Structures are given as structure tokens and as C-alpha cells.
Amino acid sequence: MNRYQGVIFDLDGVLCFTDQYHYQAWKAVADKLGIYFDKTINNRLRGVSRMDSLEIILERSDRKFTTEEKEAIATEKNDIYRQLLHNMSSADLSDEVRNTLLALRNAGMKLAIGSSSKNTKFILERLGLEDFFDAISDGTNITRSKPDPQVFTMAAEFIGLAPEECLVVEDAQAGVEAAKAGGFDSAGLGEAADFATYAMKTFAELKGICIG
Ligand code: B16
Ligand code: MG
């Protein structure tokens, strides 16, 4: 009997790496507005929704922006970001991630996505994973973003499992907090490792955590 019946994967920072594209797109709009932005600030945007990311960027501005202005800035950033995502292809899915996903699937586990991103389906298409997962819960079906557990709770519902039957895989502290708040165990990569139920150094370690 496997330790978990399902695995819910965060997308950015876990299955693929879009950080550099988020950075380039936010940098372009911040430069245009004359707002200071660097990679340290970009690190704070990991796992955070688009509008919450914009609020973090605007902390460096003395100006007040209207809701309409904020929406226009976020749309401009997203247009640049989606253009940059065209650089991604199935070559950006590592063999380690591909083989681990297949091993979990072959062990009979349900596999779902739990991502804050509204571009999830597009990114999965770029990676050649559009038909791979049993369910996708993302920025398009939630009203509250991480650290609220909604994205994971809905993913578990979509695959018909209870939170305690699922493992959440995350790279961001906000994501691990969301998992904890929803009653999920978590496996953390990078900065998330310190806060998660299981600290992972490599994605392939998931096999040992989940199977058997
Ligand atoms: P979008 P994840 C998150 O994805 C990213 O980590 C975060 O940097 C981004 O702001 C957020 O998605 C929203 O993305 O603008 O595409 O809707 O880590 O939850 O998979
Ligand atoms: Mg992430």
C-alpha cells in the first residue's frame, strides 16, 4: 500500500522554471514605470498571485495607482510573459521530472496540479504535458491564493481524495503554509524544504516518499 494515494504538484519551481520569464516581464514594466526592481524582489513573488505580486512591486513607488491602472500593468506584464513562454518546449521538462512522474503514475497514484498561475494550461502545453494530469486546479478556479489552501483543497476534490491521502509538492513557503492549512503533508524543494513535512534535495526523492 502506498503512503499516499495522490500527489498535487505546484508548477512553477517544481515541474518547470519560469522565474527568469516572470523576472524579465516584471522588470520591463517596472522600468517603464521608473520603479526599482531586482532579483531579490523577484524571489518574493514565488507562488504569489499576479495581482499580489504587483502590490509587492508597487511597494517601491510613492505613487498611488487606481485599480484600472493596476489591471493595465498586470495585463501588460502578462502579455510580455506569455510571449517569453514561447521559448519553452518539451526540452524544458527534465528527464528526472518526466521519469519520476511516470513512476508515480505506474504505482497507481492520482496526479494533479495545484498552481497559482492563470497560465498553467499554456505552460503544460509548452512542456507537452497537457493531457498528463488527472486534474488541474490553478489560478483560474480559485478566489483566494496561497497561503490559503483553496487551490490544493480543490485539486484533492477534483481527484476524489481527502487531504490526508495526498502529498503536496512545493518550492515556496506560501505553498507549504497553504498545504499545512488544508491538512496536507508536503514535500519541499529549495526554500520550501525547511518548512515542509519532507525536505527534498531532488525531485526524484518523491518516489521514496510516496511509493511502498
Ligand atoms: P500568473 P506556482 C505562481 O505559480 C508563480 O510562482 C508566481 O511567481 C506567479 O506570480 C503566480 O504563479 C501567478 O502566475 O501570472 O501566470 O497567473 O508556483 O503557484 O505554480
Ligand atoms: Mg512554485
pLDDT tens-digit series, residues 23-42: 999 999 999 999 999 999 99
Is any atom of ligand 1 closer than 6 Å to the C-beta of 118? yes
Query: Which residues 6+ apart lie within 8 Å of 134 measured at CB?
Result: 6, 110, 111, 112, 158, 159
Quote the pLDDT of residue 47: 86
Beta carbons of 114 and 147 less than 8 angstroms apart? no
Whether 10 is a known active-site residue: answer: yes
Is any atom of ligand 1 closer than 6 Å to the C-beta of 121? no
Among 10, 55, 115, 116, residue to substitute to test ligand 1 (most atoms within 8 Å of Cβ): 116
**Residues within 5 Å of ion ligand 2, judged at the Cβ atom:** 10, 12-13, 47, 171-172
Confidence of residue 1 (pLDDT cuts 50, 70, 90): confident
Whether 62 is a known active-site residue: answer: no
Confidence of residue 212 (pLDDT cuts 50, 70, 90): confident
| 173, 179, 180, 183: CA torsion to nearest 10 | 180
The pLDDT tens digits of the residues spanning 69-97 come to: 999 999 999 999 999 999 999 999 999 99
Quote the pLDDT of residue 117: 95
The pLDDT tens digits of the residues spanning 140-195 come to: 999 998 999 999 999 999 999 999 999 999 999 999 999 999 999 999 999 999 99
Is any atom of ligand 1 closer than 6 Å to the C-beta of 49? yes
Query: Which residues 6+ apart lie within 8 Å of 192 measured at CB?
Result: 170, 171, 172, 173, 175, 176, 186
- Centroid of ligand 1 to alpha carbon of 212 (angstroms): 32
Helix axes 67-85, 19-33, angle to 10 degrees: 140
Is any atom of ligand 1 closer than 6 Å to the C-beta of 137? no
